[in-house]
Amino acid sequence: PCRHAMTIPQPEGAELIERLLAATALRDAETPIDVACSGGPDSTALAVLAVASGRDVTLHHVDHGLRPSSGADAALVKDLADSLGAAFVGHVVEIEPGPNLEARARAGRRAVLPRGAATGHTMDDQAETLLINLLRGTGVDGLSGMSPGPEHPLLGLRRSETHELCALLGIETAVDETNAEQVFLRNKIRHRLLPLLAELSERDPVPILVRTADIARSESAFLEEATRSEIGDVEDVAVLRQAPWPLAARALRRWLSEGRRSEAGAYPPSEAELERVRAVIDGSVRATELAGGFRVARTAGRLRLEHSVSGTLRQVTDPRESEIPPAWAAHDLGPVVVSKDALRTRIAEMGEAISNDYAESAPLLVGVLKGAMHFISDLSQAIALPVDVDFMAVASDGSAAKTSGIGRIVKDLDIDLSGRHVLVVEDIIDSGLTLNYLRKYLGARGAASIEGCALIVKEGTMRVEQDLRYVGFEIPPTFVVGYGLDVAERYRNLDSIYTYIGEGSA
Ligand code: IMP
Ligand code: MG
């Protein structure tokens, strides 16, 4: 294949370029333009059109090291730059394989690309983005998709058009093998959902979805403006009360995201969390616990976002005499992670929070055996309401110092859940899979609400994000035992929680 100076077949080539350029935003500026170019057909077409628009073009290739061919793609993009008379810059970023790959690759790319670099996203990508966000439970902002403009100049083009241009010009383009793998949600949407939508609706769904995004974008901008003018002070309860709830919720989402941003693993608030903050604003409760060791409290008509009192506890560094483990266990135990005193103080606080939150209607505590045995016992005594208690047991592999992932129910509930406010009481959340499973299982039993309460959450190990209403402690991701937690049924009777350093520990 010819990789030298580009020859444009006449007149079809020039006509196609002209027609496509007219549907882009590339001629709206005369400044130099940075183009993020993977070597695939979309960004290659963008490179060709950017050069054709008469602007000074620099092609940036980002090598993620994820695919064996990515080095070869960099060479392809360099050749493309040469043949177009554009400049070329190659970047390398390290992305570890693992969960959230697409999002992390995107973040890695963003970090090295110049600000404002243009990408080759087309109308088809816009439709996919909208569906992805829809499946994530987004509001109107997520439905807005990408904004047309200098960073996304090809949103007016179809993917078929960028491919047509590359084919007509005989440009060799990279095949992104990850595109074919049905791994990423985006690819499943591209190769399965959109064709199915086309078949069922007997029309091309892409322009319809894009029209939805256009409407959503305009409404989202309007709401943003209205929120700004209506809610000058997001901490003022009176202001929040008189504002329409959608605007208040919008302001609160931003306030909570920003307030928690400094923490590792910050995430936007869930709708369940927002509802709880709403109860604080309404005055039905004084404070509520949020994920990440935070709480929102109301005093003198103002909201405060604060760390839960002793909510996050990394390591108890100065164990007292009483936390020196008994001789029979000392051999397998490292430092104390949560001391007996810290457990007592924190569980009392959690009991008080639960008593406040459920004052109207006492919860049914569902303990997960056996790990939660001491916790549910102490917690239930710290709740000043007529709670009911029931237990479930989920089988796990039990012997090794690691989580098995998912189990099966070996002991089911005795009490009927219909209309009950259920609070699932867990010992420790590692991957979150057990709790996720239980939530789904219990969810089908007609409970009025199901919330989660965990004594301990390990930092950064959750594979299924859980909205936990109450969290006792966040600890580093090491294996721990004591206060109900076991290795092969041992150590549950320790009164503090210790790092396990015995057989099978990492
Ligand atoms: P998940 O499903 O990965 O969240 O695992 C939760 C379950 O794994 C807990 O209920 C415990 O039974 C067990 N587990 C996870 N981490 C530990 C630990 O550090 N010590 C003892 N058990 C643990
Ligand atoms: Mg266990």
- pLDDT, one tens digit per residue, over 423-443 is 999 999 988 888 888 888 898
The answer, yes or no, to whether any atom of ligand 1 lies below 6 A from the CB of 468, is: no
pLDDT recorded at residue 1: 39
User: What's the CA angle centered on 423, arms 405 and 436, to 5 degrees?
Assistant: 25
The answer, yes or no, to whether any atom of ligand 1 lies below 6 A from the CB of 424, is: no
The answer, yes or no, to whether any atom of ligand 1 lies below 6 A from the CB of 499, is: no
Specify which of 83-97, 307-321, 396-410 reaches the highest per-range mean pLDDT.
Answer: 83-97
Query: Residue with the nearest Cα to atom 22 of ligand 1?
Result: 485
Cα–Cα distance list, 44 to 86, 162, 480 (Å): 12, 8, 52
pLDDT higher than 50, residue 265:
no
pLDDT higher than 70, residue 67:
no
What does the pLDDT average to over 47-76?
A: 88
pLDDT recorded at residue 2: 42
The answer, yes or no, to whether any atom of ligand 1 lies below 6 A from the CB of 485, is: yes
pLDDT recorded at residue 64: 82
Percent of the chain with pLDDT over 90: 54
pLDDT recorded at residue 106: 80
Query: Mean of the per-residue pLDDT values for the chain?
Result: 87
d(CA 22, CA 5): 24
Centroid of ligand 1 to alpha carbon of 135 (angstroms): 29
- Mutate which of 373, 396, 399, 430 for ligand 1 pocket (most atoms within 8 A of beta carbon): 430
Percent of the chain with pLDDT over 70: 88
What does the pLDDT average to over 191-211?
A: 96
Residue with the bigger pLDDT between 484 and 142: it is 484
pLDDT higher than 50, residue 176:
yes
d(CA 364, CA 378): 15
If you ran DSSP here, which 8-state letter would residue 309 be given?
Answer: T
pLDDT recorded at residue 369: 92
State the closest ligand 1 atom to the C-alpha of 432, by its place in the atom list counted from 1. 4
Write the DSSP assignment of 175-195 as a string of letters: --HHHHSTTSHHHHIIIIIHH
Residue with the bigger pLDDT between 259 and 404: it is 259
The ligand minimizing its distance to the Cα of 368 is 1
What does the pLDDT average to over 452-462?
A: 86
Centroid of ligand 2 to alpha carbon of 488 (angstroms): 8
pLDDT digits (tens, 9 = 90+) for 374-402: 999 999 999 999 999 999 998 765 444 44
Using DSSP, state whether 389 is helix, strand or coil: strand
- Mutate which of 337, 427, 500 for ligand 1 pocket (most atoms within 8 A of beta carbon): 427
Determine contact, residues 498/481, Cβ cutoff 8 Å: yes
pLDDT recorded at residue 349: 87
d(CA 424, CA 451): 6
The ligand minimizing its distance to the Cα of 428 is 1
Centroid of ligand 2 to alpha carbon of 309 (angstroms): 27
Q: How many CA atoms lie within 13 A of 329 on its CB side?
A: 24
Specify which of 130-134, 353-357, 373-377, 472-476 reaches the highest per-range mean pLDDT.
Answer: 373-377
Task: Provide the total of helices (H) and of strands (E) in the chain, helices listed first.
Answer: 18, 15
What does the pLDDT average to over 63-84?
A: 85
pLDDT digits (tens, 9 = 90+) for 97-150: 766 677 778 888 888 999 999 999 999 999 999 998 898 778 898 899 999 999
Residues 6+ apart with CB under 8 A from 139: none
Q: How many CB atoms lie within 10 A of CB 505?
A: 16
What does the pLDDT average to over 390-415?
A: 72
pLDDT higher than 70, residue 340:
yes
| Full-model pTM | 0.61
**Confidence band, pLDDT 50/70/90 cuts, at residue 506:** low
Residue with the bigger pLDDT between 481 and 320: it is 481
The answer, yes or no, to whether any atom of ligand 1 lies below 6 A from the CB of 429, is: yes
Specify which of 86-100, 298-312, 400-414, 447-461 reaches the highest per-range mean pLDDT.
Answer: 447-461
For residue 435, give the nearest of 501, 376, 368 by alpha carbon.
Answer: 368
State the closest ligand 1 atom to the C-alpha of 485, by its place in the atom list counted from 1. 21
pLDDT recorded at residue 406: 59
Determine contact, residues 76/174, Cβ cutoff 8 Å: yes
d(CA 345, CA 326): 22
The answer, yes or no, to whether any atom of ligand 1 lies below 6 A from the CB of 294, is: no
Catalytic residue IDs: 430
- In the numeric block, the tokens 């303990």 are attached to 367
State the closest ligand 1 atom to the C-alpha of 368, by its place in the atom list counted from 1. 10
- Exposure of 214 by Cβ count < 10 A (0-12 exposed, 13-18 middle, 19+ buried)? middle
The answer, yes or no, to whether any atom of ligand 1 lies below 6 A from the CB of 404, is: no
